[in-house]
């Protein structure tokens, strides 16, 4: 069985430790590879390489940096199928779904191919007599990224192309459950001509994460994962003075108004709830049915849910794959049991599903629970599996109060045919990313992605303009080229414009 190694200083590295972890094929329920689990010494080695590369890379002209990014972009396009296959094999999502994430990740590379435009500073002429001011941004230094299992290509690409385009060097700690695609990304960067040491990978678990958070020579940390770990990363990395953005978990609500097109809403709720087996941070997991729409909506969602073909992600017939691990499967099944015990109506039951030829796979069938209340664990907790819960309320005001009382604030959607409702919803809802008749409103690469509340710790969202700001810091220069006679203007008062 192959072992997925670190990537340090431009080549694969076995590192200093002897621990490895299993990388599973979730459709078969058995390990398909090993991954090296790094040590603090490996973190140190990668940071040393990244720091050594920073001087040269940050001084490389914008035009030369962009040439590398263009070549990298083309290589990602050429290797889309291979990247998607690696994602599907390790994560379990369908091939088409995996291709979608590769494309959405690559779009961040497209965006940063325009980095010269994005890094243009500002200039103010004649801010005072004979004085001009300009501001510009410079890279931070060595940046680290720590990423979750559910988007092995896209989420790291929210980070490293932006950091690198801005002139930083980067150390990635991918999820140890899905490390294969990152190794290929490292090889593509090398083929694109990125200098050794600019992009590094240290595989591993908590030991590597803590090593990155505590390292004195790392300037910024980007994290995406569950809320408890996001909070921990934010606190611990901040303690050593790093800039931190830490994106956490989610419970995304879709509010369906009585004036919505119910067939359209049901189609999109099923896609958004069960795509990727519900393991998307922007998956819809709670449907809030307003007034009389509930019965018809639940009926139509039920019809569509029972028609979903579940199977291995790599099989062309599959619409939904397994969840990522046995522990995930058991957790999701436990929540369904608890929801039923708490009094929810199990409209579609995904427990006990059998997939022919993949009997050992980590499958949970799509599950629909109705008459759920806000005190049930199927509502309060992020289940991160193919479980859609329906809550019934009487009005838009009640729906908004429910959504806004939830501690997460990642994504939300409203289904309506009323512009007035849509406008009111988008202004009043306390959530970072909002869809109007769009259930997975993941911002394009040239906008920034980020939630509110317990879904984000730190000031900056990822990619787009906020990503560029996160990976750079500003300088403001005030300039005067005096004539000899003007020197007499100097005096001891605080300077003001004249
Ligand atoms: P996770 O929090 O378990 O792991 C994320 C990363 O943290 C991994 O690299 C992992 O190795 C590391 N990690 C795990 N436990 C740790 C610990 N105790 N100490 C230090 N590091 C630790 O998340 P996951 O299960 O891989 O991913 C799913 C979660 O990520 C969900 O909660 C999902 O909502 C969230 N997510 C959020 C977004 C977003 O944009 N907000 C995007 C994708 C995923």
Q: What is the pTM of this model?
A: 0.97
pLDDT of residue 136: 97
Q: Which token pair is 339?
A: 């929801």
Ligand 1 atom 23: residue of nearest CA:
225
Residue 229 has pLDDT above 90, yes or no: yes
DSSP string, 38-89: --HHHHHHHHHHHHHHHHHHHHS-HHHHHHHHHHHHHHHHHTHHHHHHHHHH
Ligand 1 atom 34: residue of nearest CA:
249
What average pLDDT does range 319-341 have in this prediction?
Answer: 98
Ligand 1 atom 10: residue of nearest CA:
175
pLDDT of residue 216: 97
Q: Is 172 in the pocket of ligand 1 (CB under 6 A)?
A: no
Distance between Cα 156 and ligand 1 center (Å): 12
Q: Is 147 in the pocket of ligand 1 (CB under 6 A)?
A: yes
The domain defined by 252-436 folds into Aldehyde Dehydrogenase; Chain A, domain 2 (3.40.309)
Report the DSSP beta bridge partners of residue 172: 145, 201
Instruction: Check if the beta carbon of residue 215 is closer than 8 Å to that of residue 43.
Output: yes
Give the contacts of 20 (CB within 8 A, at least 6 positions apart). Answer: 3, 34, 35, 36, 37
User: In angstroms, rounded to a whole number, what is the distance separating the alpha carbons of residues 248 and 92?
Assistant: 22
Q: Mean pLDDT, the chain, as a whole number? A: 97
User: In angstroms, rounded to a whole number, what is the distance separating the alpha carbons of residues 92 and 178?
Assistant: 10
Nearest to 200, CA basis, from 246, 239, 168:
168
Sign (positive/negative) of CA torsion 410, 224, 216, 166? negative
Measured CA distances, 418 to 97, 154, 336, 432 (Å):
31, 34, 35, 21
Q: Which atom of ligand 1 is nearest to the CA of 225?
A: 30
Q: Is 176 in the pocket of ligand 1 (CB under 6 A)?
A: yes
Query: Domain-by-domain residue ranges, the chain?
Result: 3-248+455-477, 252-436
With a pLDDT cut of 70, the percent of the chain lying above it is 99
Instruction: Check if the beta carbon of residue 327 is closer than 8 Å to that of residue 318.
Output: no
Residue 214 has pLDDT above 70, yes or no: yes
User: In angstroms, rounded to a whole number, what is the distance separating the alpha carbons of residues 472 and 474?
Assistant: 7
Q: Is 145 in the pocket of ligand 1 (CB under 6 A)?
A: no
Q: Tell me the pLDDT tens digit for each residue of 337-355.
A: 999 999 999 999 999 999 9
Distance between Cα 72 and ligand 1 center (Å): 27
Q: Which atom of ligand 1 is nearest to the CA of 213?
A: 20
Q: Tell me the pLDDT tens digit for each residue of 136-148.
A: 999 999 999 999 9
The dotted CATH code for 3-248+455-477 is 3.40.605.10
**DSSP E strand boundaries for 239-383:** 243-247, 252-256, 284-290, 345-348, 367-370
Q: Which atom of ligand 1 is nearest to the CA of 174?
A: 9
Instruction: Band the pLDDT of 293: cuts 50, 70, 90.
Output: very high
Q: What count of other Cβ atoms lies within 10 Å of the Cβ of residue 79?
A: 19
Distance between Cα 223 and ligand 1 center (Å): 8
Distance between Cα 329 and ligand 1 center (Å): 17
pLDDT of residue 497: 76
Q: Is 155 in the pocket of ligand 1 (CB under 6 A)?
A: yes
pLDDT of residue 493: 82
Q: Is 408 in the pocket of ligand 1 (CB under 6 A)?
A: no
Q: Which token pair is 450?
A: 């980020």
Q: Is 149 in the pocket of ligand 1 (CB under 6 A)?
A: yes
Distance between Cα 144 and ligand 1 center (Å): 15
Radius of gyration of the chain (CA): 25
Q: Is 206 in the pocket of ligand 1 (CB under 6 A)?
A: yes
Q: Tell me the pLDDT tens digit for each residue of 437-495.
A: 999 999 999 999 999 999 999 999 999 999 999 999 999 999 999 776 655 667 788 88
Phi, psi of 105, rounded to the nearest 5 degrees? -70, -45
Q: Is 226 in the pocket of ligand 1 (CB under 6 A)?
A: yes
Strands 131-139 and 472-480: antiparallel
Which helix (H) or strand (E) segment is 343 a member of? none
Catalytic residues: 281
Residue 415 has pLDDT above 60, yes or no: yes
Q: Is 382 in the pocket of ligand 1 (CB under 6 A)?
A: yes
- Residue of 37, 104, 212, 225 to mutate, ligand 1, most atoms within 8 A of C-beta: 225
Distance between Cα 249 and ligand 1 center (Å): 8
pLDDT of residue 494: 85
Residue 383 has pLDDT above 60, yes or no: yes
Q: Is 139 in the pocket of ligand 1 (CB under 6 A)?
A: no
Distance between Cα 224 and ligand 1 center (Å): 6
Give the contacts of 387 (CB within 8 A, at least 6 positions apart). Answer: 273, 278, 285, 332, 335, 336, 339, 350, 364, 367, 368, 369, 378
Q: Tell me the pLDDT tens digit for each residue of 79-116.
A: 999 999 999 999 999 999 999 999 999 999 999 999 99
Instruction: Check if the beta carbon of residue 412 is closer than 8 Å to that of residue 434.
Output: yes
Distance between Cα 226 and ligand 1 center (Å): 4
For residue 384, the SS3 value is coil
Q: Which atom of ligand 1 is nearest to the CA of 151?
A: 43
Number of Cα atoms under 13 Å in the Cβ half of residue 410: 28
Report the DSSP beta bridge partners of residue 188: none
């Amino acid at each position: 069985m192959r072992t997925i190694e670190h990537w340090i200083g431009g080549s694969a590295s076995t590192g200093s430790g002897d621990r490895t972890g299993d990388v599973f094929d979730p459709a078969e329920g058995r390990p398909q590879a090993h991954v090296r689990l790094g040590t603090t010494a490996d973190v140190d080695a990668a940071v040393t390489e990244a720091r050594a590369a920073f001087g040269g890379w940050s001084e490389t002209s914008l035009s030369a940096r962009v040439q590398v990014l263009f070549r990298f972009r083309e290589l990602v396009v050429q290797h889309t199928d291979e990247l998607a296959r690696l994602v599907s094999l390790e994560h379990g999502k369908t091939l088409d779904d995996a291709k979608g994430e590769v494309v959405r990740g690559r779009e961040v590379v497209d965006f940063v191919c325009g980095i010269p435009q994005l890094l243009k500073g500002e200039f103010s002429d004649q801010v005072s007599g004979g004085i001009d001011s300009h501001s510009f941004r410079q890279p931070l230094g060595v940046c680290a990224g720590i990423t979750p299992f559910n988007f092995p290509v896209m989420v790291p690409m929210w980070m490293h192309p932006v950091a690198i385009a801005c002139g930083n060097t980067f150390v990635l700690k991918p999820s140890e459950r899905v490390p294969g695609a990152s190794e290929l990304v490292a090889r593509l960067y090398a083929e694109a001509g990125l200098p050794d040491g600019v992009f590094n990978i240290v595989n591993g678990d908590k030991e590597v994460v803590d090593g990155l958070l505590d390292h004195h020579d790392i300037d910024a940390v980007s994290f995406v994962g569950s809320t408890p770990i996001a909070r921990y990363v934010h606190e611990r990395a901040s303690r050593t003075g790093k800039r931190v953005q830490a994106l956490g978990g989610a419970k995304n609500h879709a509010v369906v108004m009585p004036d919505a097109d119910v067939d359209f809403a049901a189609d999109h709720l099923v896609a958004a709830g069960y795509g990727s087996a519900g393991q998307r941070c922007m998956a819809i997991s709670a449907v809030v049915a307003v007034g009389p729409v509930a019965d018809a909506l639940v009926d139509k969602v039920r019809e569509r849910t029972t028609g979903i073909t579940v199977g291995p992600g790599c099989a062309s017939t599959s619409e939904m794959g397994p969840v990522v691990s046995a522990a995930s499967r058991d957790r999701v099944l436990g929540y369904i049991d608890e929801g039923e015990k708490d009094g929810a109506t199990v409209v579609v039951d995904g427990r006990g599903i059998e997939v022919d030829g993949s009997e050992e796979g980590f499958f949970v069938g799509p599950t629909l629970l109705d008459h759920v209340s806000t005190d049930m664990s199927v509502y309060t907790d992020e289940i991160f599996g193919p479980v859609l819960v329906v809550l019934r309320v009487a009005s838009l005001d009640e729906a908004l109060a429910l959504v806004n009382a939830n501690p997460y604030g990642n994504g939300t959607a409203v289904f309506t045919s009323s512009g007035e409702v849509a406008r009111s919803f988008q202004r009043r809802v306390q959530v970072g990313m909002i869809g109007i008749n769009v259930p997975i409103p993941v911002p394009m690469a040239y906008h920034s992605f980020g939630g509110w509340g317990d879904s984000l710790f730190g000031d900056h969202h990822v990619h787009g303009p906020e990503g560029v700001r996160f990976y750079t810091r500003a300088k403001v220069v005030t300039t005067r080229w005096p004539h000899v006679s003007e020197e007499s203007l100097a005096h001891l008062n605080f300077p003001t414009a004249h």
